[in-house]
Amino acid sequence: YYQPVLTLDTQAVVGFEALVRWKHPSLGLLPPDQFVAVAEETGLIVPLGEWVLKQALDQVAGWRSRLPGAADLWVSVNLSARQLRARNVVDMVADALLTSGMPPNALQLEITESVLMDEVGPTIDAMKAIRALGVQLAIDDFGTGYSSLSYLKSLPVSSIKIDRSFVGCLGSDDASAIPLVDAIVSMARALDLEVVAEGVETAVQRETLLELGAGLAQGYLWSRPLEPGLIPAWIAARARVASIT
């Protein structure tokens, strides 16, 4: 499934996050929290993650070449701890890019902040090698781990994704919500990192994030993750909205 990522100011779609689903024969559509943790424990996440990456690259390469206005869309794919520690991860990514014909800078890989805290040495080396391919790296679920500022500064990442727990508090009566997101955005700006806000559900959240200076966002306000067959129509409808507003 694919969830659009948009600019907060013009609300134009710039890319998609790939989010895996399991169409189970008897249980129906299973969300990732029902199988990704087990796949991680058993190691199955390595082939599964490779499959997701290849599917996503091929899918978005197809949209870029076929759909009007879609030529610059990028795709963001979640990379698990186990994948990042696999010896051939850099070759795997390079190979998937080559096969799909996608330019490396149209791919972003998301690594959760907690993974970065757990295992330092080889993880950072793999991240640097992936970055050297020209692929973008994002810190996912930002704000849920305990990265120090000096550590963050040393990471070869290009963006952070503000965890949806922070975004969800915007517009509530939680007095710390705005100052916290403000602090995260300021920090990102100081480190020259792009900010993606996750889980934007209301117009108030969008306006607040825009005022605080976040650049990009995704959330139910615009779209839930959609099966790939629905995306071309979604892109066309979005372009019509953009031409009116």
Q: Site residues (CB under 6 A) for ligand C2E?
A: 3, 19-20, 31-33, 36, 45, 49, 52, 78, 80, 140-141, 164, 198-201, 218-220, 225
Interaction partner, residue 159 (ligand C2E, Ca ion, none; CB < 5-8 Å by kind): none
Give the shortest CB-20-to-ligand C2E separation in angstroms.
4
Report the nearest approach of Ca ion to the CB of residue 78 (Å).
5
Residue 141 engages Ca ion in binding (rule: CB under 5 A)? yes
Q: Specify whether the CB–CB gap between 181 and 211 falls below 8 A.
A: no
Distance from C-alpha of 83 to C-alpha of 206, rounded to nearest angstrom: 33
Which residues are bridge partners to 195 per DSSP?
160
Binding site partner of 36, from ligand C2E, Ca ion, none, Cβ cut-off 5-8 A by kind: ligand C2E
Q: Exactly one of 13, 57, 64, 78 binds Ca ion (CB under 5 A); which one?
A: 78
Tell me if 50 contacts Ca ion by CB under 5 A: no
Minimum CB distance to ligand C2E, residue 12 (Å): 18
CB count within 10 Å of CB 244 equals 5
The C-alpha atoms of residue 29 and residue 63 are separated, in whole angstroms, by: 24
Contacts of 142 (CB under 8 A, 6+ apart): 113, 160, 161, 162, 163, 184
State which residue, 197 or 212, has the beta carbon closest to ligand C2E: 197
**How many angstroms separate the CA atoms of 184 and 198, rounded?**
13
Is residue 113 a contact point for Ca ion (CB under 5 A)? no
224: Cα separation from own chain's centroid = 14
6, 53, 96, 110: residue in contact with Ca ion (rule CB under 5 A)? 110
Measured distance CA(93)–CA(54) in Å, rounded: 9
- Residues lying near Ca ion in the complex (CB under 5 A): 78, 110, 140-141, 198
